[in-house]
Amino acid sequence: MFVIQIIFILVLGLALGSFLNVCIYRIPRDESIAWPPSKCPHCQTHIKYYDNIPLISYILLGGRCRNCKEKISIIYPVVEFFTAMLIMLLFLKFGLTFNFVIGLFLILSLVIVFFIDLEHKIIPVNFYIFLVPFILRFTEAMFLTKTGIFFFIIEYLGGGLFGFILLGLIKIISKPIFKRDALGMGDVYLFLYLGLFLGWKSIIYILFLSSIIGAIFSVIYVIIKRTKESEVPFGPFISIAAALYLFFSEMILEKFNFYLMFEDLIFILRHS
């Protein structure tokens, strides 16, 4: 039974990865993700279903279009592979539970943000997308865990608001310091989205982790490219940090819970 589940998840992951490729290519170009079917970006030939099998088609075709023999970007199989692996990890962590569904939507968004921001240096914002974490977390609080409406408001609506305000403030404050927009509005909205998904506690950790990963990467980038100016987008690092928090939040909150520090501080203040 477990083997069948693993195979199912793998096929699901590859299929979703293939769909994400469509999103990653078309969203920044303002094209519909539902229509028309996939075309070769070089010769515009419609790709046949048997040439559109995730990973396998790329290998069978030797990484080239069947019609025009133009190279197919390595990004396509990379996205399919990573999406499948992340969804597999999600399944191994949560099993087929509601948490898996929540994690699934989050991971799919993070993969899209990662690759679009990496290539186009934008984070696309569609306001309907905020309904996804809203509905999922509301359903969970009201009908599944029955933690109730106040928990939902404080934990998740509060989380979204916290992320939005914190990043908004950083954006405003950092502009005169760096003399340019260090953060785009896309980054600010991304933190609103993450707060709705992961709760208010996640915000500080995601900000902290993404800054560290971003700083390390920027230093390496500047050394390798031998440039002084490194215009590295922030979205990919936020995506990595949010995925790390999704998978390791229990461990992070257990070992590095600085909210406890505040509780201790309040405790000491009260009793002094």
Min CB(46)–Zn ion separation in Å: 10
Min CB(115)–Zn ion separation in Å: 21
| For residue 176, cis peptide bond before it (omega within 30 degrees of 0) | no
Min CB(208)–Zn ion separation in Å: 45
Measured from the CB atom, is 73 or 230 closer to Zn ion? 73
| Short-list 116, 117, 90, 85, CA closest to 103 | 90
Chain centre to alpha carbon of residue 225: 27
**Residue choice 10, 15, 27, 40 for contact with Zn ion (CB under 5 A):** 40
42 lies in the binding site for Zn ion (CB under 5 A): yes
Chain centre to alpha carbon of residue 257: 23
Please list every residue from 43 through 72 that binds Zn ion, using CB under 5 A.
43, 65, 67-68
Reduced to 3 states (helix: H, G, I; strand: E, B; else coil), residue 232 is coil
Measured from the CB atom, is 42 or 48 closer to Zn ion? 42
Measured from the CB atom, is 40 or 166 closer to Zn ion? 40
Length of the chain: 272
> How many residues make contact with Zn ion (CB under 5 A)?
6
Measured from the CB atom, is 43 or 215 closer to Zn ion? 43
Measured from the CB atom, is 71 or 225 closer to Zn ion? 71
Q: Which residues contact 58 (CB under 8 A, 6 or more apart)?
A: 72, 76, 77
Chain centre to alpha carbon of residue 109: 5
Min CB(77)–Zn ion separation in Å: 16
Q: Which amino acid is at 114?
A: F
- Give me the residues that bind Zn ion (CB under 5 A), please: 40, 42-43, 65, 67-68
